[in-house]
Amino acid sequence: MIDPDSIPHIGQMVRIMKGRDAGGVACIIQIEDSRFVYIADGDKRKVDRSKKKNVNHLHLFDFISPEVKNSIEQTGRVTNAKLRFAISTFMNDYNFLMEGE
Amino acid sitting at position 7? I
DSSP structure class, residue 94: T
Report the distance separating Cα 64 and Cα 83, nearest Å: 12
Question: Residue 71 is part of a domain; what is its CATH number?
Answer: 2.30.30.140
Q: Is the pLDDT of residue 98 over 60?
A: no
- pLDDT grade, residue 5 (50/70/90)? low
Query: What would the DSSP string read from start to end of 46-92?
Result: -GGG-EEEEGGGEEEEEEE-HHHHHHHHHHS---HHHHHHHHHHHHH
Domain range enclosing 41: 12-100
- pLDDT grade, residue 1 (50/70/90)? very low
The predicted model gives 84-97 an average pLDDT of 84
Residues 33-50 have pLDDT tens digits of: 989 999 999 999 999 999
Domain count within the chain: 1
pTM above 0.85, yes or no: yes
